[in-house]
Chain A
């Protein structure tokens, strides 16, 4: 990976952890279909949010 972008004031370790998680989660679908649907992205985001709730992190991390 050598392409990425950040906000020099508003970015964080956790924001990139979340983006990495979503990338990993969506990769198999993108590989098999060479496209992603709104439902797939929505499901991944919801799973990511649930994962944070389970870990007690919440959105404000």
Chain B
């Protein structure tokens, strides 16, 4: 069952245990993160879907994270990406907010996910943003 929270123009839904929108990664982005998760003894899957409505745009993002405990200490984050982003991909899956989405994670979005997962926020996004891309 999904749990929904929101403030202002932001909405987020979270589900524990479900796994949707799987894809075959082209490559992986990896990072280490500090976390106090050493009491965890079993794995867990969390699905997060967000929507932000602002300025005529409504960016969506769906991430499914799987945590697996290990004895190595620290947390290794691995985010699989699907290469270049392109318009017109088929929307074949849905998350808890029920928006039809394209399964996959283009490299630009994978970098965003990794920044959020590690807490290493960038001052600006790498490369052109979505609005700039539309002008290309």
Contacts and interface: CB of A to CB of B under 8 A. Distances in A.
A34 B117 contact: no
Contacts, number: 232
Q: Is the interface of A mostly helix, strand, loop or mixed?
A: helix
Contacts of B114: 20
Nearest to A58: B54
Contacts of A34: 16-17, 44
Interface residues of A, number: 48
Interface residues of B, number: 86
A3 B10 contact: no
B80 A2 contact: yes
Interface of A: 1-24, 26-28, 30-32, 34-38, 40-46, 48-49, 55, 58-60
Interface of B: 3-14, 16-17, 19-25, 33, 35-37, 39-40, 42, 44, 46-50, 52-55, 57-67, 77-80, 85-89, 91, 93-95, 99, 101-106, 108-119, 121, 125-126, 129-130
